[in-house]
Amino acid sequence: MEKNIRKAIEQALEEAPARKFVESVEFAFTIRDVDLKNPSNRIQEEIRLPAGRGREPSIAMFADGEMAAKAKDAGIVVIDPSQIEELGGTRQKARKLARKHDFFLAEIPHMGPIGRFLGVVLGPRGKMPRPVPPVADPAAIAAGLKNVAIVRSRDKITFHTVVGTRDQGIDALTENGIEVWKRVTSKLERGNGNIRSFYVKTSMGPSVKAEVTL
Domain 59-144 falls in which CATH fold? Rossmann fold (3.40.50)
Q: What is the DSSP string of 16-47?
A: SPP-SSPPEEEEEEEE-S--TTSGGGS-EEEE
CATH 3.40.50.790 intervals, the chain: 59-144
- Tens digit of each residue's pLDDT (9 = 90 or more) over 12-67: 999 999 888 999 999 999 999 999 999 999 999 999 999 999 988 999 999 999 99
- Sequence-separated (6 or more) residues with CB below 8 Å from residue 25: 9, 12, 13, 162, 163, 164, 165, 166, 168, 173, 200, 201, 202
pLDDT value, residue 106:
97
What pLDDT, on a 0 to 100 scale, did the predictor assign at position 7? 97
Question: Where do you find CATH 3.30.190.20 in the chain?
Answer: 2-54+147-209
Question: Mean pLDDT throughout 69-78?
Answer: 96
Which pLDDT band holds residue 89 (cuts at 50, 70, 90)?
Answer: confident
Q: Which CATH number fits domain 2-54+147-209: 3.30.190.20, 3.40.50.300, 2.40.50.840, 3.30.870.10?
A: 3.30.190.20
pTM of the model: 0.83
Q: What is the pLDDT of residue 209?
A: 96
